[in-house]
Amino acid sequence: MNWKKSSEENKMILTEDYVRKTIEEVAPLVEEESGLKCDVKDFKLKFKLISSPLASYNIKNHELRFSKYISCNGNCFYLILGHELMHHSQYHTFKDLQKREKEFISSKGLKDKLIWSNPFNSLIEGDATLVEMNLQEKYFKNAKAGEIRNLSYLYWRGMLCEKFNDGKDRKGINELYTAPVGELIKIFGENTIFL
């Protein structure tokens, strides 16, 4: 068994060995789905006793962060990891993405939670959710992932699907990462919080 079960049903206790092996399995699938390079060398892994978010990608230090205990089955973890590896691919492929997002946030004077309410974040999270759900459909059908999905991310994914041939036009989606911000605003709007 690659992961340890805790005393609670469907709760995983992640180990570094399991996460690294899963990264090696999932990264090529993320590349295939996204058309972006997913270089997985030298990831730093950090485990915390947190409940939310279950996982995150830290752009600055190339670090994947995980809750030490994740309530899901093994296939669900593949989806969580696929979503975070997609973030790595986005920032690794489009080097000025974070700078462009910060400039937009600064120009609009967004503060606190509203910094997540911008068209760049809509693209980043919507596309990561699109790839995650494609992975589920193709490879991990029995993953129970509904409870981990953010409604805003699902909404933004839907916008990408609507505009880009049900999400199959990867060239068009990937071009958005370098498109003028006005193109993103046409798709997602300027203030993109979905309630």
Phi, psi of 186 (to 5 degrees): -60, -35
Alpha helices in 48-180 (DSSP H): 74-93, 97-108, 119-138, 151-163, 170-175
CA distances from 86 to 4, 12, 108, 132 (A): 25, 22, 27, 8
Residue 118: predicted pLDDT: 85
CB under 8 Å to 40, separation ≥6 — which residues?
A: 23, 24, 27, 85, 88
Write out pLDDT tens, residues 22-63.
999 999 999 999 999 998 877 788 877 665 667 888 888 888
**How would residue 149 be classed by pLDDT, with cut points 50, 70 and 90?**
confident
CB under 8 Å to 160, separation ≥6 — which residues?
A: 123, 126, 127, 130, 167, 173, 187
**How would residue 165 be classed by pLDDT, with cut points 50, 70 and 90?**
very high
pTM given for the model: 0.87
Task: Please tell me the distance from the alpha carbon of residue 30 to that of residue 52, in angstroms, as a whole number.
Answer: 23
Task: Please tell me the distance from the alpha carbon of residue 104 to that of residue 181, in angstroms, as a whole number.
Answer: 8
Q: Which tokens hold the place of 161?
A: 């699907």
- The whole-chain average pLDDT of the chain stands at 83
Task: Please tell me the distance from the alpha carbon of residue 32 to that of residue 84, in angstroms, as a whole number.
Answer: 15
Residue 176: predicted pLDDT: 97
C-beta separation of 57 from 84 below 8 A: yes
Percent of residues, the chain, with pLDDT higher than 70: 79
DSSP 44: E
**How would residue 116 be classed by pLDDT, with cut points 50, 70 and 90?**
low
Q: Which tokens hold the place of 133?
A: 């759900």
Residue 191: predicted pLDDT: 65
- The domain 4-92: what is its CATH number? 3.30.2010
Domain with CATH 3.30.2010 in the chain: 4-92
